[in-house]
Amino acid sequence: MLAARYHRGMTKQFHAVCFDHDGTLVDSEPIHYRLWRDVLADHGIELTEAEYKARYAGVPTLANAHDFVARHRLPVTADVLSDRKQAAMAAYVARAAFPILPDVREVVARLHAIGLRLAVVTGALRVSADTTLREHDLARWFDVVVCAEDVPRNKPAPDCYRLAANRLGFDPAQCVAIEDTEAGVTAAAAAGMPVVAVPHALSRQHDFSRAAAVFATLADAAKWIEARAVASPRTALADSARA
C-alpha cells in the first residue's frame, strides 16, 4: 500500500477536478498493453509487460509509435503504426467499454455533489472517453471533456490541461488533476495545475515527484481534494436544470 505523500500545504482553493481517463477512470492499461503487443507482433517484435511498464504505460499512442519505429527500425512510419493501434483500440471499444475502476462512480458523484466542476482530460481519442462516459453512465457528472483531437500537443505537454481549465472557467491553479502516470503528472504540473497521483501496477515505478500527493486509492485522493475544495453544494433544482 502507498502512503500519502504531501509536498506542500494547500488552502481551500479547488473549484474543479480534472480526471485523467486511462488508468484513472478505467482499467485500460492492461488492454492497451495487449493491443500494442498484437500490433507489434505483426512486425516480429515481442513487447514484454516489463518493457511496457518501464517505457510505454501512460504515454500517448503516437509518441509510443515513434519510439517503437526508431528503436526497432520498423519499415513503417510512426503515423501508420499509431493508426493501427488506434484502429485496434476503436475496435475494442466498439465491442465493450473499458472496465471502470473501483470507487470511480462514488468519487465522481461526491465531488460533483459538493459543487466542484468536473472534466475528463485524456490523451486518448474521443471515441474512447465517450464510450466510457456513456456505457458507465458517467456523462451527467462531467462539464468538460478534452481529448487528443482537441490539442496540438498531447501529454506530457500541458496543452490539454490548459484547455480544460479554460473551458471550465478557472485558472489552472484553481483546479486539481488526478493522474496515474508520470506523463500525465508532468502535463498537469507544466500547465500550472496542482496534481495528485494514484499509481497502478503498470505505473508504480514512475517519477511522481511533481505531484502534490500520491495515494494508494482514488477514494483517498478524493478525500484530500475535498478537504481543499471551495465547496458549494448543488441543490436538486440546480441539478435538474443541468439535466
Question: According to the 3-state scheme, what is the secondary structure of 30-67?
Answer: HHHHHHHHHHHHCCCCCCCHHHHHHHHCCCCHHHHHHH
Reduced to 3 states (helix: H, G, I; strand: E, B; else coil), residue 179 is: strand
> What fold is seen in the domain 29-95?
DNA polymerase; domain 1 (1.10.150)
**pLDDT tens for each residue of 54-82:** 899 888 899 999 999 999 999 999 999 99
**pLDDT tens for each residue of 13-31:** 999 999 999 999 999 989 9
pTM above 0.75, yes or no: yes
Take residue 226 and report the three cell numbers written for it: 475535498
Higher pLDDT, residue 242 or 68? 68
**pLDDT tens for each residue of 179-214:** 999 999 999 999 999 999 999 988 999 999 999 999
**pLDDT tens for each residue of 102-147:** 999 999 999 999 999 999 999 999 999 999 999 999 999 999 999 9
**Region 206-224 average pLDDT:** 97
Separation of alpha carbons 61 and 68, rounded Å: 10
CB 226 within 8 A of CB 115: no
Predicted pLDDT at 12: 80
**Region 74-94 average pLDDT:** 94
Separation of alpha carbons 111 and 19, rounded Å: 11
Residue 231 has pLDDT above 80, yes or no: no
Q: Phi first, then psi: what are they for 138, rounded to 5°? A: -105, -15
Residue in this structure with the C-alpha cell 498484437, named with its chain if needed = 38
Separation of alpha carbons 23 and 203, rounded Å: 9
The full set of domain ranges for the chain reads: 16-27+99-242, 29-95
Report the CATH number of the 16-27+99-242 domain: 3.40.50.1000
Residue 237 has pLDDT above 50, yes or no: no
> Cα 90 vs. chain centroid, distance in angstroms?
18
Separation of alpha carbons 80 and 61, rounded Å: 11
Residue 240 has pLDDT above 80, yes or no: no
The catalytic residues are 20
Burial bucket for residue 10 (CB in 10 Å: 0-12, 13-18, 19+): middle
CB 93 within 8 A of CB 64: no
Q: What is the percent of the chain where pLDDT is above 90?
A: 84
Give just the sign of the alpha carbon dihedral 59, 61, 63, 67: positive
Predicted pLDDT at 57: 86
Predicted pLDDT at 10: 53
